């Protein structure tokens, strides 16, 4: 099992997102993981790319500096090994969730990729 800190990244419509606690993402099927990164710079770059592609289009009334606020907030959280979950609302379109979840997590879930490896026959 991989004990070095890493982040599993998820992109989802809100209706497919797990419960309110961010760590619950780790209980989702491993196939839902879009990317896994071992450095927070890559996590942040991935999140901002997904934000540009899926969340910022068509938003109404969003302050121009919303992305900058998110960039700073994500950097602070990721540096201390915390989860970052962005939930985006767009008029008339499904809500988008962009999530980066620490693994191992402070909540004691197994790494979803390790669970997947154990489930497959050698
Ligand atoms: Zn993991």
Span from the CA of 30 to the centroid of ligand 1 (angstroms):
9
85 phi, psi to nearest 5 deg: -130, 120
pLDDT at position 103 is 94
Could you write out the three-class secondary structure of the chain?
CCCCCEEEEEEEEHHHCCCCCHHHHHHCCHHHCCEEECCHHHHHHHHHHHHHHHHCCCCCCCCCCHHHHHHHHHHHHHHCCCCEEEEEEECCEEEEEEEEEEECCCCCCCCHHHHHHHHCCC
pLDDT at position 53 is 83
- Residue 27 pairs in a beta bridge with none
The whole model's pTM is what? 0.82
**Closest C-alpha among 76, 16, 86 to residue 46:** 86
pLDDT at position 11 is 93
pLDDT at position 68 is 74
Which residues lie near ion ligand 1 (Cβ < 5 Å)? 103, 111
- Residue with structure tokens 């419960």? 19
Please, what are the averages of pLDDT over each run of 10 residues along the chain (122 residues)? Answer: 84 80 92 95 92 66 65 84 83 76 88 80 60
pLDDT at position 111 is 94
Span from the CA of 59 to the centroid of ligand 1 (angstroms):
33
Report the C-alpha gap between 93 and 58 in whole angstroms. 9
pLDDT at position 26 is 94
């Amino acid at each position: 099992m991989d004990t070095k800190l890493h982040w599993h990244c998820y992109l989802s419509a809100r209706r497919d997102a797990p419960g309110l606690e961010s760590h619950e993402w780790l209980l989702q099927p491993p196939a839902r993981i879009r990317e896994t990164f071992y450095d927070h710079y890559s996590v942040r770059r991935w999140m901002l790319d997904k934000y540009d592609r899926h969340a910022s289009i068509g938003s109404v009334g969003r302050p121009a500096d919303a992305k900058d606020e998110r960039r700073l907030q994500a950097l602070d959280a990721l540096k201390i090994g915390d989860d970052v979950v962005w939930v985006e609302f767009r008029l008339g379109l499904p809500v988008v969730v962009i999530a980066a979840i620490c693994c191992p997590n402070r909540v004691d879930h197994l790494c979803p990729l390790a669970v997947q490896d154990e489930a497959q026959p050698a």
